[in-house]
Amino acid sequence: MTDLELLTKMAEGDVSAGRRFVDNHQVNVYNVCYSFLQNEHNAEDVAQEVFIEAIRNAAKFRGDSKLSTWLYRIAVNRSLNFLRDNRKRRFWIEIDSLFGIGGDPGDSKDQGPVSDDDLLEQQEQKLLIGKAIQALPENQRIAFTLNKLEDLPYAEVAEIMQTTLSSVESLIHRARVGLQKRLKNYYSN
């Protein structure tokens, strides 16, 4: 049975097909999310959202690209949206503390598991390599992450990013140069 058939059956409520489909792709989807989010809990959360979106939009998949490429695209978009939301949430937390609503950082526990991970996330962000990758411009970060960390070929990266091959090459080159400078600065200081 093909991946598309499995996905269609999963969307129709076939549990065994769903389990097979998810098991086939969950590692790759999770790792893409993890590469962007650098946090296990958030990566798991977003990976589940990716599969939910895939089930919902199963009928819209036209088969122009590989199903895995389509899943990667959803994973990248979801992860970037999560990061944007997180940035906004942090802004609101700062506003909170400005008005004195937030109180102790421990009080944020009642906001759910995402807030619970803030400390861990902050610790992880202290890793200079992660910081350097996250500091790259968005397109460069996507191209670099998919090619260098996820080991995807340029052609698939171009398909995921819906751009040309030469554009991906240029983005990766700029990302390499940017990272090289950043890493040199970070580790020499």
Partner 1 sequence: MNQLRVKQEIKPAMNCREAELLMVDFIAKQTPSDIPAALSEHLSSCSLCMRLYSNCIIDFKVLAAGRRIAPDPGFFDKLSVRLQSRPGLSIHKRKPVRRILHYSPVFLTAAASVILGIWIGSKWFILTQAGIETSNSLSSEERSGMVEAFASEMQLTDESTLALESYFIENENSDNYDAQ
What are the DSSP calls for the chain, one per residue? --HHHHHHHHHHT-HHHHHHHHHHHHHHHHHHHHHHH--HHHHHHHHHHHHHHHHHTGGG--SSS-HHHHHHHHHHHHHHHHHHHHHHHHHHHHHHHHHT-S-SGGGGGGG-HHHHTHHHHHHHHTSHHHHHHHTS-HHHHHHHIIIIIS---HHHHHHHHTS-HHHHHHHHHHHHHHHHHHHHHHHH-
Site for partner 1 contains 89 (CB under 8 A): yes
**Contact pick of 1, 12, 52, 135 for partner 1 (by CB under 8 A):** 52
CB 13 → partner 1: shortest distance, Å? 10
**Contact pick of 5, 12, 94, 101 for partner 1 (by CB under 8 A):** 101
Site for partner 1 contains 65 (CB under 8 A): no
Site for partner 1 contains 119 (CB under 8 A): no
Site for partner 1 contains 143 (CB under 8 A): no
Q: Which residues bind partner 1 (CB under 8 A)?
A: 15, 18-19, 22-23, 26-27, 30-31, 34-35, 38-40, 43-45, 47-49, 51-53, 55, 81-82, 85, 89, 92, 99, 101, 124, 127-130, 148-149, 151, 176-177, 179-180, 183-184, 187-188
